[in-house]
């Protein structure tokens, strides 16, 4: 299962590189980073996406987890 998650991460990273404003795909990547314990990657991606789309309901779920008080 971990191999599948890592493969999915690689694919979403490619999508992120080529389509930087495709927010939902990047939130999927954020989900995968969180699920696989890549917390620093998740925090950095959250901050980047939150700047682009602060009202996105899926990002608001992560706000409490990643945003500094």
Q: How far apart are CA 47 and CA 42, in angstroms?
A: 9
pTM score of the predicted model: 0.88
Other CB atoms within 10 A of residue 17 CB: 8
Q: How far apart are CA 68 and CA 24, in angstroms?
A: 23
Closest CA to 31 of 58, 55, 7: 58
Residue 3 CA from chain centroid, whole number: 18
* 6-42 tens-digit pLDDT: 999 999 999 999 999 999 999 999 999 999 999 999 9
């Amino acid at each position: 299962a971990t191999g599948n998650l890592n493969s999915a991460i690689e694919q979403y990273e490619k999508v992120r590189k080529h389509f930087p404003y495709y927010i939902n795909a990047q939130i999927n990547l954020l989900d995968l980073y969180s699920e696989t314990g890549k917390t620093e990657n998740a925090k950095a991606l959250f901050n980047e996406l939150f700047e682009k789309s602060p009202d996105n309901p899926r990002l608001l779920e992560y706000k409490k987890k990643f945003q500094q008080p």
